[in-house]
């Protein structure tokens, strides 16, 4: 019996999830995401895979965030010819997110060629057409259903409660050995989505650690949003919400609508400057089977998930520019969530230096991103080559995170009936990983490993 796991991404860093499992010569990849953050990380996306894509038998996809799916087109381009197994909702989101990423890559490459770049001939990681090519490989799976993989391995997806369609993958080998691939773990009692399922056993466990050293604020995020918008609106300011198009935007819209229903928000324009966010909202509406009881019971689900009162979609650049000249108060929700691209950058360029305005962060800000620099309190940041003073109020609604925090991870792990032989900690910055390992070792007494990039372990 020869069995191993190799960590080809998200090893001692938060992005680039890609794990290779080998079993008697068969090769299963779990996720194939892009690296995000600083230049060194981004360059890794262009490096060759540490395996031959043509030799991979199947890819198991845990969820549709770019750091879990963003290198799938590259995998196909370089010879992979098998299937991508994922839940129906994950495929629905990938159908929007991958072509969109391809389009952005092409635009970035074009711009780099025009304005000069450190690369002699800047190329997109993949094109929109290549993204569509990759989408043909997806095959939909249901939760809690057994699927057969090569070498007699059984696959079972369980709800991870992280974003729509998110799952962790239970792989059971022929001899009964069980490997649980954690994907990203969501949170309990968040709006819209069902809670993560508990696992009671695994021989080997791979878990994320994005917030392994932190506790989210227990304050109700809806209360925070209400307070921040009301205070900013009273001063005639603008609330900029850098938002992830997948999940976070729908959650914010849901809260805004609930606040409006309770008469707790002033009537003001809410601009969604992200065509992708609107398309993703449609995917949510098509997958109500993933909702929790509260969302299912919502009087008008469509309004809750996609259209609070005063909502306006920003269709084109002209309208986006017009908003830049418009006096507050109003709210702008735009991507990207970490401000390292997308239309939010234009809004920040125009609004960041005015103390009347507020930037409200709603998720994790990776090191090296514009969002992280603003959040870390830098006095000046560079946007499109312009130095901009950061005078706007900066707030963070941490409770909105889609990732479990340290305590929630511990609660989830606490449902195991027996310790795994080995627990691999991935998808986190080193500090977060070490903090989580310290707690797991001291409180649960489990054996943990923080794998390095390209490190490989036997799974006896």
User: Where along the sequence are the contacts to Zn ion (CB under 5 A)?
Assistant: 65, 184
Label each residue of the chain as H, E or C: CCEEEEECCCCCCCCCCCEEEEECCEEEEECCCCCCCCHHHHHHCCCCCCCCHHHCCEEECCCCCHHHHCCHHHHHHCCCCCEEEEEHHHHHHHHHHHHHHHHHHHHHHHHHHHHCCCCCCCCCCCCHHHHHHHHCCEEEECECCEEEEHHHEEEEEEECCCCCCCEEEEEECCCCCEEEECCCCCCCCCCCECCCCCCCCCCEEEECCCECCCCCCCCCHHHHHHHHHHHHHHCCCEEEEECCCCCHHHHHHHHHHHHHHCCCCCCCCEEEECHHHHHHHHHHHHCHHHECHHHHHCCCHHHHHHCCCCEEECCCHHHHHHHHHCCCCEEEEECCCCCCCCCHHHHHHHHCCCCCCEEEECCCCCCCCHHHHHHCCCCEEEECCEEEECCCEEEECHHHCCCCEHHHHHHHHCCCCCCCCEEEECCCCHHHHHHHHHHHHHHHCCCEECCCCCCEEECC
Which class for 309: exposed (0-12), middle (13-18), buried (19 or more C-beta within 10 A)?
Answer: middle
Least CB distance to Zn ion at residue 110 (A): 29
CB of 63 to Zn ion, least distance (A): 6
By beta-carbon proximity to Zn ion, the closer residue of 53 and 186 is: 186
Residue among 179, 188, 185, 186 at smallest CA distance from 156: 179
Cβ 367 to Zn ion shortest distance, Å: 17
User: Please, which residue, 128 or 184, has the CB nearer to Zn ion?
Assistant: 184
Q: How far is the CB of 93 from Zn ion (least distance, A)?
A: 11
Measured CA to CA, the distance from residue 426 to residue 208 in angstroms comes to 5
Residues paired with residue 27 on neighbouring β-strands, in sequence order: 22
For Zn ion, give the closer residue by CB, 65 or 88.
65
Q: How far is the CB of 16 from Zn ion (least distance, A)?
A: 12
Question: At its nearest, how many Å lie between Zn ion and the CB of residue 253?
Answer: 19
Q: Are 208 and 333 in contact (CB under 8 A)?
A: no
C-beta closer to Zn ion: residue 53 or 161:
161
Cβ-contact 332, 238 below 8 angstroms: yes
- For Zn ion, the closer of residues 22 and 408 by Cβ is 408
Question: Measured from the CB of residue 375, what is the shortest distance to Zn ion in angstroms?
Answer: 19
Least Å distance between CB 163 and Zn ion?
6
Rounded Cα gap, residues 151 and 390, in angstroms = 56
- Closer to Zn ion by Cβ: residue 100 or 184: 184
* CB of 65 vs Zn ion, minimal distance in Å: 4
CB of 393 to Zn ion, least distance (A): 28
Name every residue whose Cβ is closer than 8 Å to that of residue 99 and which is 6 or more positions away in sequence.
128, 131, 132, 135
**In the complex with Zn ion, which residue's Cβ is closer, 17 or 358?**
17
Nearer to Zn ion, 65 or 187 (CB): 65
To Zn ion, the closest distance from the beta carbon of 376 in angstroms equals: 22
Indicate the residue among 65 and 347 with the shorter CB distance to Zn ion. Answer: 65
Judged by beta carbon, residue 14 or residue 256, the one nearer Zn ion is 14
User: Residue 93 or 259: which CB sits closer to Zn ion?
Assistant: 93
């Amino acid at each position: 019996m020869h069995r191993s796991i190799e960590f080809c991404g998200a090893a001692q860093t938060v992005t680039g999830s890609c794990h290779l499992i080998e079993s008697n010569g068969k090769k299963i990849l779990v996720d194939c995401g892009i690296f995000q953050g600083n230049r060194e990380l981004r360059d890794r996306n262009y490096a060759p895979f540490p395996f031959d894509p043509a030799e991979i038998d199947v890819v198991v996809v845990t969820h549709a965030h770019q750091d879990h799916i963003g290198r799938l087109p590259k995998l196909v381009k370089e010879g992979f010819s098998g299937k991508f197994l994922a839940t129906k909702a994950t495929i629905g989101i990938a159908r929007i997110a991958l072509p969109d990423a391809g389009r952005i890559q092409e635009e970035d490459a074009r711009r780099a060629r025009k304005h000069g770049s450190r690369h002699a001939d800047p190329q997109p990681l993949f094109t929109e057409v290549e993204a569509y090519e990759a989408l043909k490989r997806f095959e939909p799976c249901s939760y809690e259903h057994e699927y057969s993989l090569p070498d007699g391995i059984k696959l079972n997806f369980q709800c991870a409660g992280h974003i729509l369609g998110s799952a962790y993958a239970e792989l059971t080998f022929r001899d009964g050995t069980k490997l649980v691939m954690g994907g990203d773990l969501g949170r309990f009692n968040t709006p819209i989505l069902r809670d993560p399922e508990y696992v009671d056993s695994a021989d080997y466990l791979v878990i994320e650690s994005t917030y392994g050293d932190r506790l989210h604020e227990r304050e109700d995020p809806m209360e925070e949003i209400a307070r921040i918008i009301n205070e900013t609106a009273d001063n005639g300011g603008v609330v900029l919400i850098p938002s992830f198009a997948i999940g976070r935007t729908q959650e914010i819209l849901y809260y805004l609508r609930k606040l409006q229903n309770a008469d707790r928000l002033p009537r003001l324009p809410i601009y969604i400057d992200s065509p992708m966010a609107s398309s993703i909202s449609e995917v949510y509406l098509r997958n109500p089977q993933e909702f929790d009881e509260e969302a299912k019971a919502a009087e008008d689900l469509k309004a809750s998930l996609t259209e609070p009162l005063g909502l306006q979609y920003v269709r084109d650049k002209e309208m986006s520019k017009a908003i830049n000249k418009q006096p507050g108060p109003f709210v702008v929700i735009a991507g990207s969530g970490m401000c390292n691209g997308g239309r939010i950058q234009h809004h920040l360029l125009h609004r960041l230096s005015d103390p009347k305005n507020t930037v409200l962060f709603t998720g994790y800000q990776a090191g090296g991103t514009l969002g992280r620099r603003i959040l870390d309190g830098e006095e000046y940041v560079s946007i499109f080559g312009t130095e901009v003073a950061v005078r706007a109020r900066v707030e963070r609604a941490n409770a909105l995170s889609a990732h479990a925090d340290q305590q929630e991870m511990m609660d989830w792990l606490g449902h195991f009936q027996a310790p795994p032989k080995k627990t691999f900690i991935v998808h986190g910055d080193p500090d977060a990983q070490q903090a989580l390992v310290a707690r797991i070792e001291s409180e649960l007494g489990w054996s943990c490993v923080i794998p390095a990039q390209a490190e490989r372990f036997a799974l006896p």
